Homo-oligomer: A and B are copies of this chain.
Amino acid sequence: MFDLAMPCPVLGLLPGDVVLTGDRPTGPLHLGHLAGSLAARVAGQHACPHTILVADLQALTDHAHDVARVRDAVDGILIDYAAVGLDPAKVGLVLQSDVPEISEIAMLLLNLVSLERILRNPTVKAELAQKGDNARNAGFAIYPASQAADILAFRATAVPVGRDQAPMIELAAHLADQLALRGAEVPVPRAVFPAAGAAGRLPGCDGRKASKTLGNAIALGATDAEIASAVRRMVSDPARTSRADPGDPDKPIAFAYLRAFDPDRQGLADLEAEYRRGGVGDGDVKKRAERVVRDLVGPVRERRVEAGRRLPELRDALRDGTASARGTARETLDGIRSCFGLSRRAV
């Protein structure tokens, strides 16, 4: 079994949990995804069932102008998954757009929640404010309801997210409650957060959110040269002028990467203490970060090559996982249809 050479983020999973996670296929996955969710899935996949959604419909809500990007990213994501150690025989890989039941469930769920409540969602609000009204297509605006449909469709009990995503899961839980009041029981999902001390949301090299679009992320397939260049660009504390200055290890981005990925926790703690006292240059921190990232990404990069050769097999796993997940989604849809007075679907 392939083990990631990084501290394992412990998730608050309970016996019997069904986990739903996933990614929007908008480009290659990067270290932000690894720290924020992939590593936890790899650690958790043997503890309880994981449904992993390749959320291409959700990706289209803000990539309707560039559908080729979404289409072309799907294979890369399958390769990324296999390369970090997700076992396609163990987890359920699901292509969102091949589960039509999700759209039907989403349309029905929209009748159980006010538009105001959907639009109050802080993520939607923030992203709409950032992108401006031109990007405010209706699909993007209502995506929290569509995400609730994903969660309920697959009867997930635990949805690993960042703290800022908690209202998304609250909406899904609210809708599960509404369905229960009408006689259609689906599990009420709860958000599961990264354990204290785990990396959670990893910043990009420039300190902003790590994003392929911003070009500030390190892809899982990055070469050593790309890693070196990215680490070089990592911002430090601009107020610190000499290595003798006492420093705040919360400031340099390189420390964030070390906290996420350095398997030598004692060595890292010592370095942080020394940095606080003064005597450690930001170049030293970056040198360590470069080595840690290189040691982590190197084997993943090699396994990406190997996984690329197995792509037909990975596509089969996606197809089979989707077919199996559709069975669950169909049952959920039947229950929801029945609480709306609609007949059970024959096919």
Contact at A71–B116, with CB atoms within 8 Å?
no
A56 CB to closest chain B CB, in angstroms?
Answer: 7
Q: Out of B103, B137, B342, which one reaches A115, CB within 8 Å?
A: B137
1/0 per residue A56-68: CB within 8 Å of B?
1100110010011
> Interface segment, A86-94, A105-113, A230-238, A271-279?
A105-113
Chain B CB within 8 A of A145 CB: yes
Within 8 A of B (CB), among A55-85: 56-57, 60-61, 64, 67-68, 70-71
A176, CB-defined interface residue at 8 Å: no
A64 touches B342 (CB 8 A): no
Contacts of A341 in B (CB 8 A): 60, 67-68, 70-71
Copies of the polypeptide in the assembly: 2
Interface residues on A, range: 35 or more
A136 and B111 contact, CB distance less than 8 A: no
Residue of A107, A114, A138 ringed by the most chain B CB atoms within 10 A:
A138
The dominant DSSP class at the A interface is: helix
User: A118 an interface residue at 8 Å Cβ cutoff?
Assistant: yes
A114 contacts B137, CB within 8 Å?
Answer: yes
State how many angstroms separate the Cβ of A270 from the closest Cβ of chain B.
50
Q: Does B133 lie within 8 Å of A138, measured CB to CB?
A: no
A104 on interface, CB distance cutoff 8 Å: yes
Chain B residues lying within 8 Å of A141, measured Cβ to Cβ, are: 115
Of B57, B115, B136, the contact of A138 (CB 8 Å cutoff): B115
Among B100, B114, B138, B182, point to the contact of A118 (Cβ < 8 A). B138
Question: In the complex, A253→B316 CA distance in Å?
Answer: 67
Point out the residues of chain B lying under 8 angstroms from A342, CB to CB: 56, 71, 97
Given contacts A106-B107, A107-B107, A136-B114, contact A67 B142 (CB under 8 A): no
* A263 CB within 8 Å of chain B: no
Q: In the bound complex, how far is the Cα of B118 from the Cα of A146, in angstroms?
A: 18
Determine if A174 is an interface residue (Cβ-Cβ < 8 Å): no
A237 → chain B closest CB, angstroms: 42
Q: If A114-B138, A137-B113, A340-B64 touch, does A100 touch B104 (CB 8 Å cutoff)?
A: yes
Known: A64-B112, A64-B340. 5 other contacts (CB 8 A): A68-B341, A100-B104, A103-B106, A108-B139, A113-B138
List 10 A–B pairs whose Cβ atoms lie within 8 Å, in order of A's numbering. Answer: A60-B108, A60-B340, A60-B341, A67-B341, A70-B341, A108-B139, A110-B139, A110-B142, A114-B133, A138-B142
What residues make up the interface of A, taking CB atoms closer than 8 Å to B?
56-57, 60-61, 64, 67-68, 70-71, 97, 100-101, 103-104, 106-108, 110-116, 118, 133-134, 136-142, 145-146, 182, 337, 339-342
